[in-house]
Amino acid sequence: MIRGFESGLAHLKARRDDHLPPLACDRLWRSGRIDGGYQEMIHLASINERPSLVSKPLDACRACNIPGSEPLVAQDNFGFSVPSLGALVEGWVLVFPRRHVLALNQLSDLEWSEFNRHAELTRQMVKVAYGEFIQFEHGSAGVGRTAACGVDHAHLHIVALSIDLREAIHHIEHEVGAFDWEPVAGRVPMGVASDYIWVQDATGQWMAQADVLPSQVVRRAIAAAIECDEWDWKLAHRRELMLRTSERLIGARQS
């Protein structure tokens, strides 16, 4: 079931129509007066990369509270999708499983199948609205690791772009290190104990493992590929892109 579009869009439009200068908007954002769910995620991101400050996964997770506090693209019993905070391009959506896990490889085969059905709804909406897309996940092996990019709840990125992600990552090896890629089919295998990156683009589905995965590897690579200076979602929120993504996906649903 897809719902939450109109209320979410009104929420974003109200924020846009305040006509506050960017710095004033950011001060309100950080103060918690707007966008409580994402504001708490930004706060958690500032401590999640220091594992000693985080105890149990659920203590640190605010992604679980996004439904009900943020505009959703889609939701059902198995997952929910939301325009990405800090998107580098329009048409960037995050898809979260309902069950709290740190990485999608921790879902059982049945849970993965159910989550993937929800993700397919979101993929089809992005395809109708934007055309080609890529997908990726930064899989974290534990709480508070840089692989999670500050969000200790598994999430799939669906991005309205057509680029070779492995090639883009190769171009920033000097920043993030080199990766050994192996093809995968359908999903990251259960039981992977390390951090990992999973990507899907026109070349297929690929996975690379790492003892310690740097923060936001794929975001950095995409930013470099499209010549965008700021890749860190915690520093550049780009709320206008969230609004435009919601508007386009509403149109896709209604077409």
Give residue limits of the domains in the chain.
Answer: 5-254
- The Cβ of residue 71 has, within 10 Å, a number of other Cβ atoms equal to 23
- Give me the pLDDT at residue 60, please: 53
Write the DSSP string, 114-165: HHHHHHHHHHHHHHHHHS--EEEEEE-SSTT-GGGTT--S--EEEES----H
- Give me the pLDDT at residue 127, please: 96
- Give me the pLDDT at residue 141, please: 79
b/e string for 131-156 if b means 16 or more Cβ within 10 A?
A: eebbbbbbbbbbbbbbbbbbbbbbbb
Task: Please name the amino acid found at residue 108.
Answer: S
- Give me the pLDDT at residue 43, please: 41
- Give me the pLDDT at residue 220, please: 95
Name the one residue in this structure whose structure tokens are 């960017």. Answer: 22
What Rg do the C-alpha atoms of the chain give, in angstroms? 17
User: Exposed/middle/buried for 236, CB within 10 Å: 0-12, 13-18, 19+?
Assistant: middle
Q: Whose CA is closest to 148, among 219, 239, 69?
A: 219
Chain centroid to CA 75? 15
- Give me the pLDDT at residue 4, please: 43
Given a contact cutoff of 8 angstroms between Cβ atoms, the answer to whether 214 and 177 are in contact is: yes
Write the CB contacts of 69 (distance below 8 Å, at least 6 apart in sequence).
Answer: 35, 36, 37
- Give me the pLDDT at residue 134, please: 98
Q: Would you write out the chain's pLDDT as a tens digit for each of its 255 residues?
A: 444 444 444 444 444 433 333 332 333 233 333 344 444 444 444 434 433 323 344 545 777 878 777 778 889 999 999 999 899 999 999 999 999 999 999 999 999 999 999 999 999 999 999 999 999 999 987 787 777 777 789 999 999 999 999 999 999 999 999 999 999 998 888 888 899 999 999 999 999 999 999 989 999 999 999 999 888 878 878 889 999 998 898 778 776
Q: Does domain 5-254 have CATH number 3.30.428.10?
A: yes
- Give me the pLDDT at residue 1, please: 40
- Give me the pLDDT at residue 8, please: 45
